[in-house]
Amino acid sequence: MGKIQKQLLISGRVQGVGFRHFTKQNARGLGVNGWVKNLRNGDVEAVLEGEEEQVDELENRLKSGPVAAKVKSVDVVKIENVTEESFKYFSVKR
């Protein structure tokens, strides 16, 4: 299948509920690299990179999020032309 990248914008009650930590733990468990951060408007943004199956699985997990979260929507943009790994690990941006 090969490596893919996706950018996700997650909205709802997703800040102050451990969403970034949840994302990082799941990404590392699945072998997905990239980053996650809170946005000023209350949303969470994430860039995921890895094998398609693992990235899709993480995307599905983020549609629910941690127990305290209430995800309203997940907007996904697949980033085309991923030629090499851009990320060495998964991080939380401030």
pLDDT in tens, 1-60: 578 999 999 999 999 999 999 999 999 999 999 999 999 999 999 999 999 999 999 999
pLDDT score for 81: 74
Domains in the chain with CATH codes: 3-80 (3.30.70.100)
Write out the H or E segment, with its range, that includes residue 12.
strand 3-13
Which amino acid belongs to residue 3? K
Show which residues are catalytic: 20, 38
Q: Tell me 14's DSSP state.
A: -
pLDDT score for 52: 94
**pLDDT above 70 for 83:** no
pLDDT score for 1: 59
Q: From CA 10, how far away is CA 7, in angstroms rounded?
A: 10
- Which two three-digit tokens encode residue 25? 């733990």
Say if CB 22 and CB 29 are below 8 A apart. no
pLDDT digits (tens, 9 = 90+) for 57-82: 999 999 999 999 999 999 999 888 76
- Which two three-digit tokens encode residue 46? 């994430």
Per DSSP, what are the bridge partners of residue 74?
10
Region of 91 on the Ramachandran plot (φ > 0 left; ψ -120 to 50 alpha; else beta): beta
